[in-house]
Amino acid sequence: MIAFACIDLKETMGPKNGNDNKEHEEDFPTTRGDDVNHNTTTDTTNNNKDTDNNKDDDDKTNNKKTTIEELQDEIAGLEAEAYSTKSKLLNESQFSELLGLQSEDEPEFIEEIIEMYTADARSMLEELKKFYSAKDDEIDFDQIRGTLHKLKGSSSTFGADGVTEMCDLMRELCIEKNVKDARIGPDSLVELEKRVEDLASFLDRYMSKLRELTAAKM
């Protein structure tokens, strides 16, 4: 009885047959090859992303360079317009010297100088209009000459050749006490005001492009 009991216990505790082992092997399939393929695919995807990012950076750099060059060309065109003998807006040497005073410590220096000049010029124009609005026999030519002298001085320093020239022409009319031609005509107060406003308009456009260029370089 004891012998049969031992045999039964052995059969109960012993190893399972081959089919059972195969079933366990199928429960845990090998995935190492799949992992390698997955990692390779991920690396390839990441490399493609890096390539795309580098391309985007290159495109941005090229676009930025193109924008800067275009703005520089536009500014050069505006300067050529201002310095031409036809427009007589600005004296190249004096205005270039003024631009040279700009520094990183005072980025708004030039704009402040321009605003001061145009504001003063317009104020003096209003004075001249007031003087010439009086009756012919009540016009104070000394005051007119004084205002023209101040406007000529500030315009000459700024490099505004056209305005400076008009001040000289109007001064001659003032000396002659030629009220009619001073009020209206090619050498009149009307023409002087036009030159001041033409210059102010140009300076607005010019400074706008300079600001764009500064922003593009950042």
| CA–CA gap between residue 218 and residue 212 (Å, rounded) | 10
**Among the listed ranges 6-15, 37-46, 178-187, which one has the minimum average pLDDT value?**
6-15
CA dihedral sign, ordered 42, 45, 49, 54 = positive
The pLDDT score that the predictor gives to residue 87 is 87
Which domains does the chain possess?
Answer: 76-217 (1.20.120.160)
The pLDDT score that the predictor gives to residue 54 is 55
94-141 pLDDT, tens digit each = 999 988 888 767 768 899 999 999 999 999 999 999 999 999 999 999
Give the largest Cα separation in the chain, rounded.
Answer: 156
The pLDDT score that the predictor gives to residue 125 is 97
Residue pair 113/177 in contact (Cβ under 8 Å)? The answer is no
- Tokens representing 50? 């890096």
The pLDDT score that the predictor gives to residue 37 is 54
Torsions phi, psi of 100, nearest 5? -70, -15
